[in-house]
């Protein structure tokens, strides 16, 4: 009996313990499920709560600002305020300019002072409109060593009687070169044209300033044309309508030689026909500076070509020695005429 009771009590305790363990397990599992559900809900609800809080804070702040009490109006029966003493009035300092506006405002551009115009040279002062129509042009610098200072555009030469001798086209030259050309036209060409019963009326300018090598050869030394120090002339027009071509053989030799003497006495370089193949149709003048003042004058004045070129040789003079007889194949001597007659005799008669 005692054993049964002890066994019953042991079984009861075991069943109670098992029941408590089952309840605890179920509670733990339920707690875990609820925690996971709260975590899922927190990810969605938390941003909404934060937004709602911010909205509530903003609404509360605005409302509080609107509800700030204002002072009551001053009653009518209140005494007037006393004015403060003059020395007690302190003027408020002017507010400094906003730094952003000062930084963003563009600084006024300082205009660069215009360079002072160079004083005119002695040549420019001497080359007046009484001598030539030659306005000044800006200096030319480059490319390379081309260009020069104290340049003018020689448009016409003014004769002593006031007539204008145009230079066509106008020539860009250094002032010294333009002045020498003007003096040559006013003095030498006027005297030459007077001998032909006329006066100069125009200068045919073939070339003046041009940035190039000598004779337009690539890689050659810089020409005086590239320094605006040379002029190429093809012809001189007269008021009578005659055009004197300086390199034309049909022009009187005395006229061409007179021009040759005048230009070689004035210019440092004169190149014309006979100097090279580049100056057969014009004459080149320049004022090149050389060591010792050396000058070059190379212009061959050719004689006129014959009106009719001889087509046949001249007749054989009687005093000429007899021709040497030619021996034929048979050893017989016969000259060319006899051989020709024999050939003509052997031909069949028509």
pLDDT tens, residue order, the chain (350 aa): 667 677 767 777 777 776 666 656 676 677 777 767 767 766 667 777 777 777 776 666 554 545 566 777 777 777 777 666 655 555 555 555 555 544 555 656 666 666 666 788 999 999 999 999 999 999 999 888 899 999 999 999 999 999 999 999 999 999 999 999 999 999 999 999 999 999 999 999 999 999 988 888 888 899 999 999 999 999 999 999 999 999 999 899 999 999 999 999 999 999 999 988 889 999 999 999 999 989 999 999 998 877 776 677 778 888 888 877 655 555 444 444 444 444 444 444 44
Cα-based distances in Å from 276 to 151, 246, 281: 29, 16, 11
- CA gap 76, 83 in Å, rounded: 18
Token pair listed for 117: 């115009």
Contacts of 342 (CB under 8 A, 6+ apart): 334
- CA gap 116, 300 in Å, rounded: 49
Q: Is the pTM of this model over 0.75?
A: no
Phi, psi of 227, deg, nearest 5: -105, 5
Compute the C-alpha angle 113/115/117, nearest 5°.
140
**Residue-level pLDDT at 133:** 94
Q: Residue 210 in contact with residue 231, Cβ under 8 Å?
A: no
Domain boundaries, given as residue ranges, for the chain: 10-38, 125-298
- CA gap 172, 150 in Å, rounded: 11
Q: Residue 222 in contact with residue 286, Cβ under 8 Å?
A: no
Task: Report how far Cα 14 is from the mean position of its chain's Cα atoms.
Answer: 112
Paired residues of 129 in beta bridges: none
Which run of H or of E encompasses 27? helix 2-66
**Residue-level pLDDT at 78:** 74
Spell out a b/e string for 310-332, using b for 16 or more CB atoms within 10 Å of the CB, else e: eeeeeeeeeeeeeeeeeeeeeee
- CA gap 247, 331 in Å, rounded: 59
Task: Report how far Cα 98 is from the mean position of its chain's Cα atoms.
Answer: 46
Q: CA gyration radius for the chain?
A: 59
Q: Residue 238 in contact with residue 200, Cβ under 8 Å?
A: yes
């Amino acid at each position: 009996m005692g054993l049964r009771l002890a066994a019953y009590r042991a079984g009861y305790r075991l069943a109670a313990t098992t029941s408590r363990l089952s309840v605890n397990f179920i509670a733990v599992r339920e707690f875990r499920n609820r925690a996971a559900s709260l975590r899922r809900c927190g990810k969605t609800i938390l941003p909404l709560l934060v937004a709602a809080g911010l909205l509530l804070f903003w609404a509360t702040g605005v409302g509080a600002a609107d509800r700030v009490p204002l002072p009551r109006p001053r009653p009518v029966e209140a005494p007037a305020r006393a004015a403060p003493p003059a020395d007690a009035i302190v003027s408020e300092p002017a507010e400094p300019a906003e730094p952003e506006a000062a930084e963003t405002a563009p600084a006024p551009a300082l205009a660069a002072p215009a360079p002072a115009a160079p004083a005119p040279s002695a040549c420019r002062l001497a080359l007046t409109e009484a001598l030539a129509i030659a306005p000044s042009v800006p200096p030319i610098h480059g490319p390379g060593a081309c260009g020069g200072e104290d340049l003018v555009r020689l448009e016409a030469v003014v004769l002593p009687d006031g007539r204008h001798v145009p230079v066509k086209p106008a020539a860009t030259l250094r002032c010294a070169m333009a002045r020498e050309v003007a003096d040559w036209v006013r003095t030498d060409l006027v005297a030459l044209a007077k001998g032909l019963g006329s006066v100069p009326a125009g200068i045919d300018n073939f070339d003046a300033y041009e940035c190039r090598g000598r004779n337009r050869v690539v890689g050659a030394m810089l020409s005086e044309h590239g320094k605006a120090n040379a002029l190429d002339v093809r012809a001189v027009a007269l008021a009578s309508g005659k055009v004197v071509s300086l390199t034309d053989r049909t022009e009187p030799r005395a006229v061409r030689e007179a021009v040759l003497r005048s230009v070689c006495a004035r210019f440092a370089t004169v190149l014309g026909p006979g100097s090279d193949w580049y100056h057969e149709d014009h004459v080149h003048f320049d004022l090149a500076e050389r060591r010792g003042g050396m000058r070059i004058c190379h212009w061959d004045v050719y004689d006129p070509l014959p009106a009719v070129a001889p087509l046949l040789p001249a007749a054989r003079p009687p005093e000429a020695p007899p021709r040497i007889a030619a021996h034929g194949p048979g050893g017989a001597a016969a000259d060319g005429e006899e051989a020709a007659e024999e050939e003509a005799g052997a031909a069949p008669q028509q």
